[in-house]
Amino acid sequence: MSDLPLSPVSPIARPGWASRVPVPVLLAAAFLAVLAFSMAFPRVVTPYDPLVSDVAHAMQPPDATHWFGTDRIGRDVFSRVIYGARYSLLIGLSSMIVSLLVGLVLGVTAGLGRRAVDEGASRVFDVLSAFPPVLLSLFVVTFLGQGIVNMAVAVGIAGIPKFGRVLRSQTLGVRRADYVTHAVTFGMSRARVFVRHILPNVLAAVPVIATIDIGSAIIAVSALSFLGLGPQPPTPEWGVMLAEGRDVLRVAWWPSVFPGMAITLTVMAFSLIGKFLARVYGVRTR
């Protein structure tokens, strides 16, 4: 009977979720990869300068030479959309980083601190989320003045409560986890337990919220630019292009529809990937 297979089963292989990525998520990732490439090397993708106007060929509908047509003063819409990715994505990314950093500090402090600290930080999140994000960003831009950096900060402030709340609840869960208690029984100092166990496990939620948040940041950035509070014309930012295209919308659809599609597809791509990551990591985003 010694040959009875009584010893426990051998460890099972890691579930192969990587091989089961849904097709829409793969498409989204491919789209973002193409976008990132055109952001880095716009000259490879398009021969035209986004700022050079050619009045002789103004308001051309899309054709073989100008894939997305030309705008009111004859600039190539395709190359403006490509160059515009730099502005829209980078501003969206930096505002997300602003929300992340402030939200992380406030959220982790709230999760670890005493009740009064927690209440204080949570009320900050309540106040910030009481205003619609675009309205709040409008306030901040009016207060700080126009410009790319100020707009990134403004959109970032509006995104703080989303990060703060998720990271606070994540911290609350992690600090009560058995492995944190167990680390205490090894005689570790509080700081060491925080650095080794609490922070890394709290940060596990960040990629998920960040990916979802960057989409809404891009929308907010475009909305503010559309209102003329961000980069100024002739900068090829997608929101600015939408605003310019609005004037000629009755006669030409292409100067507004293509930057609009760029915004929509980018935001959809980020949100698809974010939701997928949320499912894989089991993070609740609300």
Partner 1 sequence: MKTDPSLAQPQSLVDIRGLSISFPHANQGKPLVRGVDLSIRAGECVALVGESGSGKSLTARSLIGLAGQGARIDAHRFDVNGLPALDFREHDWRALRGAFAGLVMQDALVSLDPLRTVGAEIGEAVALHAGLRCHAERSARVRAVMSDVGIPEPERRVRQYAHELSGGLRQRALIASAIAAGPSLLIADEPTTALDVTVQAQILAVLAARLREGVGVLLISHDLAVVADIADRVLVMYQGEVVDSGPTGSVLNNPSHPYTRQLLAAQPSALSRGHQLGSARMVPDPQALGESGELTILREPLPARPAPSDEIVLKVDAIGKRYARRGAAGNDMFTALDDVSFSVHRGEVVGIVGESGSGKSTCANIVLGLVTPSAGAVDFLGTRWNGAKLKEASRRALRPRLQYIPQDPLSSFDPRHTVQQLLQEGLFSVDLSRRAVIDRSVELLEQVGLDAGYLGRRPATWSGGQRQRVAIARAIAPEPALIVCDEPVSALDVCVQAQVLDLLAALQARLAMSLLFISHDLDVVRHVADRVLVFKDGRVVEAGEAERVFESPQHAYTRELMAASPSVRRVKRSLEPGGALMNRSLLVTL
Chain positions contacting partner 1, by CB under 8 A: 1, 4, 6-9, 11-14, 177-179, 181-189, 196-197, 200-201, 204
Please name the residues in contact with 235: beta carbons below 8 A apart, sequence gap of 6 or more: 87
Range list of H helices, 176-253:
178-185, 190-193, 199-203, 206-226, 238-246
**Do residues 91 and 99 make contact, with C-beta atoms less than 8 angstroms apart?**
no
Whichever of 201 and 271 has its CB closer to partner 1, that residue is 201
Task: Compute the least distance from the CB of residue 274 to partner 1, in Å.
Answer: 21
Task: Compute the least distance from the CB of residue 186 to partner 1, in Å.
Answer: 6
What does the DSSP 8-state code read for residue 23?
H
The dihedral through the CA atoms of 66, 68, 69, 72 has a sign that is negative
Whichever of 41 and 281 has its CB closer to partner 1, that residue is 281
What does the DSSP 8-state code read for residue 62?
S
Task: Compute the least distance from the CB of residue 281 to partner 1, in Å.
Answer: 11
Task: Compute the least distance from the CB of residue 16 to partner 1, in Å.
Answer: 12
Whichever of 182 and 246 has its CB closer to partner 1, that residue is 182
Task: Compute the least distance from the CB of residue 174 to partner 1, in Å.
Answer: 10
Task: Compute the least distance from the CB of residue 223 to partner 1, in Å.
Answer: 38
Whichever of 113 and 147 has its CB closer to partner 1, that residue is 113
The pair phi, psi for residue 70, each rounded to 5°, is -125, 160
Rounded CA-CA distance 62/70 in Å is 7
Please name the residues in contact with 162: beta carbons below 8 A apart, sequence gap of 6 or more: 99, 103, 129, 209, 213
Whichever of 23 and 189 has its CB closer to partner 1, that residue is 189
What's the count of helices (H) and strands (E) in the chain, helices before strands?
A: 13, 0
Whichever of 19 and 189 has its CB closer to partner 1, that residue is 189
Whichever of 43 and 190 has its CB closer to partner 1, that residue is 190
**Do residues 151 and 221 make contact, with C-beta atoms less than 8 angstroms apart?**
yes
Task: Compute the least distance from the CB of residue 104 to partner 1, in Å.
Answer: 18
Rounded CA-CA distance 157/159 in Å is 5
Torsion region of 145: left, alpha or beta (phi above 0 gives left; psi -120 to 50 gives alpha): left
